[in-house]
């Protein structure tokens, strides 16, 4: 399946480049619907890989790349469940998400996230699976999970640590603060900063450059330079599930999902 | 470059906010609650923060904006980083 139009994501393979677009309103919250479609994408990927050099992930929504996990869905889907059943439900969800993220991370194609505006939580974690992040000037990054009593659960900490080193990770994780694209480039998260609205165009130009090189060599280089921290990723799931079971986390999530406040994303 | 005065900083913030959210500049004043006056949510407020950081060339952690809702106080926070 070289092209697909879903409710949350769409993709198309053309001229050696796969473009995967996110388009679930309001800001590409990642829930089970998105996950179902990402799993479809993974099933279609091996066949497309034969004909492609690069994969670009971007958002069609002006609100941003992605606001992260669909916390409302996670919260409401576990309401009324026994504690153990809720923990098992969350673990199963995380296992599926990690499978998607790990497969994208290990994809032999060169992968580019073209991001703008809100790139938070699970959205940042999705971008971190990519080999390069190209961001326009409106991009803003954040791991807000600690505000809810959680840690990022979609592979964010091990991947951020792999890419940036521990000191920056601690600042971002423990303060939960958001930061702009200038800071993101200073710390090495973003490789190219472009004018507003130009991230996808520049990503396409970068992908076109990649088609000039031998695919096998590029895949070997990627494997060599970008090891996947599987052990830490497993541990992340355990910690997330332990924290999710705490009453304080339930209170934090309840406050967030029921908030009519204009400031749920501000500390 | 000469240092901006707090008043200049406030005026520049009002100009930028009016342009970003397409409201008449004359409808905004320093003591306005920007959430209410601009009709914005927290994600849009962070988008305004991004523009302000770029314009003033500062980094302003969002936790410093905790409880800040008016342009004048926002300007003070930015002024302290200039």
Q: How confident is the model at residue B67 (pLDDT cuts 50, 70, 90)?
A: confident
Q: Look at the domain B6-79 and name its fold.
A: 1.10.1200
**A6 shares contact with chain B (CB less than 8 Å):** no
Question: How many A/B residue pairs have CB atoms within 8 Å?
Answer: 64
Closest-CA residue of B relative to A120 is B43
**Residue B2, pLDDT score:** 65
Per-residue pLDDT for B36 more than 80? yes
| pLDDT of residue B33 exceeding 90 | yes
Comparing alpha-carbon positions, the chain B residue that sits nearest to A26 is B43
- Taking the Cβ of residue A182 and every Cβ of chain B, the question of whether any pair is shorter than 8 Å is answered with yes
Question: A residues 247-266 near B, CB within 8 Å?
Answer: 261-266
The whole-number pLDDT of residue B1 equals 54
Grouping H, G, I as helix, E, B as strand and the rest as coil, residue A15 is coil
| A118/B50 Cβ within 8 A | no
Every domain of chain A and the residues it spans: 3-257
Asked if the Cβ–Cβ distance from A177 to B59 is below 8 Å, we say no
ipTM above 0.95, yes or no: no
Residue pLDDT, tens place only, B12-28: 999 999 999 999 999 99
Sites in chain A below the pLDDT cut of 70? 260-267
Q: Give the class (CATH, top level) of A3-257.
A: alpha beta
Beta strands across the sheet bearing A9-14: A3-5, A9-14, A17-22, A54-59, A110-115, A132-136, A192-194
- Best mutation target, B22, B36, B43, to test chain A (most A CBs within 10 A): B43
Q: Does A114 touch chain B (CB under 8 A)?
A: no
Q: How many CB atoms lie within 10 A of CB B59?
A: 13
**pLDDT tens digit string along A161-217?**
998 888 888 888 888 899 999 999 999 999 999 999 999 999 999 999 988 888 899
- Is A267 an interface residue toward B (CB < 8 Å)? yes
Phi, psi values for residue A3, rounded to 5°? -150, 155
Task: Please write down the HEC assignment for all residues of A197-235.
Answer: CCHHHHHHHHHHHHCCCCHHHHHHHHHHHCCCCHHHHHH
Those residues with Cβ within 8 angstroms of residue A256's Cβ, 6 or more apart along the chain or in another chain: A71, A75, A148, A264
């Amino acid at each position: 399946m070289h092209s697909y139009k879903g409710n949350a994501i769409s993709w198309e393979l053309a001229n050696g480049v796969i473009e995967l677009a996110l388009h679930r309103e309001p800001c590409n919250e990642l829930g089970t619907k998105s996950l179902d479609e990402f799993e479809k994408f993974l099933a279609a990927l091996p066949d497309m890989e034969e004909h492609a050099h690069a994969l670009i992930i971007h958002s069609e929504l002006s609100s941003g790349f992605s606001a992260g996990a669909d916390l409302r869905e996670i919260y409401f889907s576990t309401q009324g469940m026994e504690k153990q059943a809720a923990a098992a439900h969350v673990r199963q969800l995380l296992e599926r998400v990690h499978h998607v993220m790990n497969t994208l991370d290990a994809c032999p194609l060169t992968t580019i996230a073209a991001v703008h505006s809100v790139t938070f939580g699970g959205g940042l974690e999705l971008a971190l699976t990519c080999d390069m992040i190209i961001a326009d000037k409106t991009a803003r990054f954040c791991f807000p999970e600690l505000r809810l009593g959680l840690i990022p659960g979609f592979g964010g900490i091990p991947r951020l640590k792999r890419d940036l080193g521990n000191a920056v990770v601690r600042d971002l994780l423990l303060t939960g603060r958001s930061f702009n694209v200038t800071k993101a480039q200073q710390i090495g998260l973003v490789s190219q900063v472009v004018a507003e609205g130009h991230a996808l165009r520049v990503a396409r130009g970068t992908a076109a450059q990649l088609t000039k090189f031998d695919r096998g060599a590029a895949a070997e280089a990627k494997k060599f330079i970008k090891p996947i921290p599987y052990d830490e990723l497993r541990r992340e799931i355990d910690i997330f599930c332990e924290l999710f079971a705490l009453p304080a986390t339930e209170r934090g999530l309840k406050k967030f999902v029921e908030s009519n406040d204009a400031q749920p994303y501000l500390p | 470059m000469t240092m901006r005065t707090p008043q200049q900083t406030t005026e520049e913030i009002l100009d930028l906010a009016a342009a970003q959210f397409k409201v008449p500049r004359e409808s905004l004043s320093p003591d306005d609650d920007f959430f209410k006056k601009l009709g914005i949510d927290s994600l849009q407020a962070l988008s305004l923060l991004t523009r302000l950081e770029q314009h003033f060339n500062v980094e302003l952690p969002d936790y410093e904006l905790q409880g800040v809702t008016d342009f004048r106080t926002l300007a003070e926070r930015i002024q302290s980083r200039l």
